[in-house]
Structure 1
Amino acid sequence: MDGKLFSRASAEVIDLHRFFADWFVAARADRVHFGRFEAAMGEGLTMIAPTGQILDRKAVVDHVRASRATCDDGFAISIEDIKPGWQDGDTIVILYVEAQLRGGKHSRRQSSAVFTTSSSAPNGVQWRHLHETWLQVPEH
């Protein structure tokens, strides 16, 4: 297990979710640059949303771009229980739980993400695949 690759990928998971916390909140959206997000999303990215929907890179980028400033100041997101999964060469799987508070409703999702190294990406890694599964569906 390459500790440096795990460290870079873990930092990317945490930093990207900090980006989301700022990008989605109207009062903070002007503090972040969308190019950071685009640089982190690798070509050929796929995402399986907690609902089971499969999204390609364009759909993910378009959705995040359109979601700018759509949350109130109470929006919060945190990463829990981050750990390495499989690794080989310049590719690693990271496992983590994403917890959100949005509109006063809590949710949690188990996530697994595949990263590859990239010298042009934030933290030196790009997202290649993301799979999210509900642990706690947002309360109604």
Structure 2
Amino acid sequence: MSQSPLFLRARDEVVSLHEFFVAWYDKKTAATTDIDRFERVMGPGMKMIPPSGHMLERDAVVSYVRGSRAAFDGDYAIEIADVEPVWEAGNAIVVTYIEKQERRGVKTARRASALFVESSSAPNGVEWRHLHETWMQTAE
């Protein structure tokens, strides 16, 4: 089955953004990691529902990420898996993916659904408009 150009851009954005997080949160690379990349892809009106179930507005998400710079010392990793298209119409797409994290030896996993809209100013040509995450059980 062929994949649409919009899906390929959204998939690349999911991977790229999480690579940014690893660099931003690590003390060794945080000083040379540019937050502008993150802020450019968080679209206007962007909302996030983390596993806690709270609704976060764009400004709260950006503020949290800014405030968490260099929070880890080489003990933070993210793996992205199973990025799949769910719905696509015009310049918008919904994808799902699994995000596996390891923080100071503790492993977690979450399934996410994300809505992207095309944006010529974004690094991968799409910006995040909505993100919903839920915890998954992990095998230790």
Alignment TM-score, normalising by the size of structure 2: 0.95
**SS at 1:133 equivalent:** strand
Question: Structure 2: how far apart are the matches of 1:78 and 1:31?
Answer: 22
Find the residue that maps to 2:52 and give its secondary structure.
Answer: coil
CA gap 1:55/1:79 in 2 versus in 1, 3 angstroms: same
Bigger drift between 58-67 and 22-31 goes to 22-31
Q: Which residue of 2 aligns with 1:123?
A: 124
Where has structure 1 moved over 3 Å in runs of 4 or more? none
How do 1:17-56 and structure 2 match up within 5 A? 17-56=18-57
In structure 2, C-alpha distance between the alignment counterparts of 1:43 and 1:136, rounded to whole Å: 32
Asked if 1:132 corresponds to 2:133, the answer is yes
Paired residue for 1:5? Answer: 6
Distance between the aligned counterparts of 1:55 and 1:74, measured in 2? Answer: 26
Aligned residue in 2 for 1:96: 97
SS for the counterpart of 1:39 is helix
1:31 Cα shift?
A: 2.5
Aligned residues, how many? 138
Could you give the per-residue CA deviations for residues 100-129 of structure 1, whole angstroms, max 9, x where no partner exists? 000110000000000000001110100000
Percent of aligned positions that are identical: 50
CA shift digits 1:14-53 (9 cap, x unpaired) = 0000000000011111221000000000000000010101
Query: Quick one: distance in 1 between partners of 2:32 and 2:102?
Result: 21
Name the structure 1 match of 2:109. Answer: 108
TM-score by length of 1: 0.95
Q: What is the distance in 1 between the residues matched to 2:114 and 2:136?
A: 16
Structure 2 gap segments, 5+ residues each: none
Amino acid at match of 2:7: F
Q: CA deviation at 1:2?
A: 6.3
**Counterpart of 1:106 in structure 2: which amino acid?**
K
- SS for the counterpart of 1:18 is helix
Aligned amino acid, residue 136 of structure 2: L
The residue number in structure 1 matching 2:74 is: 73
RMSD: 1.4
Structure 1: distance between partners of 2:104 and 2:114: 26
